[in-house]
């Protein structure tokens, strides 16, 4: 069964001046009896020695402490296969993100709108934007944002891994979910404010300021959710979701999947027959700084805490036969910030007196402005199974969007993965723009993105 909700398409188009395209495919009832299959894949995406980390403005790769991976699953049996993939990179933006989705789609015989690729967002890792790379490549004194040869190698690995996984596809019969509260990991970064509510300082991924660390946790989602896919009694894949920046310390040239990746790998080692994936939720304003002083001991503590939550969530999995499954997509082209001037940014990028971060980072902004001018949309998606919904959002969304998704679909269990297409960079809520702070300074869209994103979530999480 495949359908396009034309009435909702017409209504959405009338409500907004930007391009919206709604799509849905799914199965329900007896159609499942002989239909669904699932395959899993994984491949290495560890950058080589010398490769830029986090866009080139921190120390490049000098040593690999532990490898970076891309992991995913393919669901077969719908009109077109569905692919969901998690990548241990800082980000995939614009054309880079599109090429990943197209590559995985071609490998399994589907279309790119049936593919969700989400980054975990570790910082000692590639921050891949091919469009920004073209801009900085005009200036030989700047470090590369991404090595395009290495990027293409990763695409070839993606294609091979996804295509070959289909040979091991097994019947998909059941789904399960569990959750556990995470103790002393995530806390809101934007808790230091003046009387007018404006941000005065930020509690980052690590923090040694006792005053900032003593401030309350602030708004977070304390729950780690796990969604499991079964073939009969066999647990084939587990996706884990938690919202926090995934760094304990970085910028030292040492590649690592950091505490979230280390926790996932520990669980993977305990359950080698199941593919474990990790997704970072809406963590644009959430990090570990309240509980992390940036030392190796803190990384170990954070790893242990997250691992215990993963274990607990996994142990509480409630398994049910699959009754219905739907994949939805929605396109959006949010309005870019009016304060950005592409010509002025190009001059800043070319200025050798500027720091590397003040030259490479604006290249991402120009890339976004160019993308919007070309009317290339972002694709959001959801995978709804029984009473579960896996929601795939772009960029660095604030935690309030994740909490809003749970309210929008209060009858569902919603597991949210952010850090999809990273083109817009940070996505604050509309009311936070006037409060300032780092996140707002690198938000590439107007506050109207709040309205557009919530509208998209409402459709993606609606009943079929």
* Residue-wise pLDDT tens digits, 223-264: 999 999 999 999 999 999 999 999 999 999 999 999 999 999
**What is the rounded distance in angstroms from the CA atom of residue 345 to the CA atom of residue 339?**
11
- Report pLDDT for 256: 98
Q: Tell me which H or E stretch contains 211.
A: helix 210-214
Q: Mean pLDDT lowest for which of 17-21, 215-219, 271-275? A: 17-21
- Report pLDDT for 340: 95
Is residue 199 within 8 A of residue 436, CB to CB? The reply is: yes
Average pLDDT over residues 306-311: 98
pLDDT at residue 4 is higher than 50: no
pLDDT digits (tens, 9 = 90+) for 341-395: 999 999 999 999 999 999 999 999 999 999 999 999 999 999 999 999 999 999 9
408-439 burial, b at 16+ Cβ within 10 Å, e below that, comes to bbeebbbbbbbbbbbbbbbbbbeebbebbbeb
**Which segments of 4-113 does DSSP mark as H helices, in order?**
6-15, 95-108
Residues ≥6 apart with Cβ < 8 Å to 233: none
Torsion angles phi and psi, residue 39, rounded to 5: -130, 150
- Report pLDDT for 430: 98
- Report pLDDT for 464: 73
Burial of 70 (0-12, 13-18, 19+ CB in 10 A): buried
Closest CA to 43 of 70, 67, 83: 70
Mean of the per-residue pLDDT values of the chain: 93
Torsion angles phi and psi, residue 415, rounded to 5: -110, 120
pLDDT digits (tens, 9 = 90+) for 274-294: 999 999 999 999 999 999 999
Average pLDDT over residues 436-445: 97
pLDDT digits (tens, 9 = 90+) for 167-180: 999 999 999 999 99
- Report pLDDT for 24: 63
Output DSSP code: residue 30. G
Residues ≥6 apart with Cβ < 8 Å to 462: 409
Q: How confident is the model at residue 463 (pLDDT cuts 50, 70, 90)?
A: confident
pTM: 0.93
Is residue 76 within 8 A of residue 39, CB to CB? The reply is: yes
Reading phi first (left if > 0) and then psi (alpha if -120 to 50, else beta), residue 318 is in beta
Strand positions, DSSP E, 281-352: 286-287, 318-321, 324-332
pLDDT digits (tens, 9 = 90+) for 39-85: 999 999 999 999 999 999 999 999 999 999 999 999 999 999 999 99
Closest CA to 125 of 260, 224, 286: 260
pLDDT digits (tens, 9 = 90+) for 358-371: 999 999 999 999 99
382-397 burial, b at 16+ Cβ within 10 Å, e below that, comes to bbbbbebbbbbbbbbb
Is residue 67 within 8 A of residue 121, CB to CB? The reply is: no
Per the document, the length of the chain is: 464
């Amino acid at each position: 069964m495949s359908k396009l909700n034309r009435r909702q398409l017409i209504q959405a188009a009338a409500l907004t001046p930007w391009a919206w395209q709604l799509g849905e495919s799914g199965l329900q009832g007896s159609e499942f009896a002989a239909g669904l299959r699932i395959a899993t894949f994984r491949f290495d995406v560890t950058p080589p020695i010398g490769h830029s980390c986090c866009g080139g403005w921190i120390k490049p790769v000098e040593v690999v402490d532990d490898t970076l991976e891309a992991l995913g699953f393919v669901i077969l049996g719908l009109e077109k296969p569905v692919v969901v993939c998690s990548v241990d990179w800082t980000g995939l933006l614009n054309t880079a993100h599109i090429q990943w989705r197209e590559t995985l789609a071609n490998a399994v015989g589907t279309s790119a709108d049936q593919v969700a690729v989400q980054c975990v967002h570790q910082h000692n890792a590639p921050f891949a934007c091919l469009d920004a790379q073209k801009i900085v490549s005009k200036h030989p004194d700047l470090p590369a944002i991404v090595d395009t040869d290495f990027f293409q190698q990763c695409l070839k690995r993606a294609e091979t891994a996804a295509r070959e996984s289909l040979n091991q596809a097994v019947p998909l019969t059941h789904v399960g979910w569990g959750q556990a509260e995470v103790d002393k990991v995530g806390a809101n970064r934007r808790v230091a404010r003046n009387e007018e509510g404006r941000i005065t300082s930020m509690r980052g991924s690590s923090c040694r300021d006792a005053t900032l660390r003593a401030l309350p946790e602030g708004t977070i989602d304390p729950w780690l959710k796990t969604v499991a896919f079964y073939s009969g009694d066999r647990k084939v894949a587990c996706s884990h979701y938690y919202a926090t920046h995934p760094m304990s310390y970085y910028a030292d040239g040492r590649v690592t999947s950091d505490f979230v990746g280390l926790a996932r790998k520990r669980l993977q080692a305990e359950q080698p027959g199941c593919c474990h994936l990790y997704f970072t939720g809406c963590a644009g304003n959430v990090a570990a700084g309240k509980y992390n002083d940036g030392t190796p001991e803190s990384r170990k503590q954070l790893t242990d805490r997250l691992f215990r939550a993963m274990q607990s969530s996994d142990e509480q999995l409630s398994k049910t036969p699959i009754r219905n499954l739907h994949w939805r997509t929605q396109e959006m082209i949010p309005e870019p910030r009016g304060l950005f001037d592409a010509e002025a940014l190009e001059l800043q990028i070319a200025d050798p007196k500027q720091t590397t971060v003040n030259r490479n980072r604006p290249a991402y902004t120009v890339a976004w402005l160019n993308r919007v001018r070309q009317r290339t949309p972002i694709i959001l998606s959801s995978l709804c199974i029984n009473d579960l919904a896996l929601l795939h959002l772009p960029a660095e969304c604030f935690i309030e969007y994740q909490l809003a998704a749970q309210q929008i679909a209060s009858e569902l269990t919603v597991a949210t993965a952010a850090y999809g297409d990273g083109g817009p960079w940070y996505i604050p809520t509309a009311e936070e723009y006037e409060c300032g702070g780092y996140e707002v300074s690198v938000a590439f869209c107007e506050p109207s993105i709040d309205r557009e994103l919530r509208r998209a979530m409402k459709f993606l999480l609606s009943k079929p």
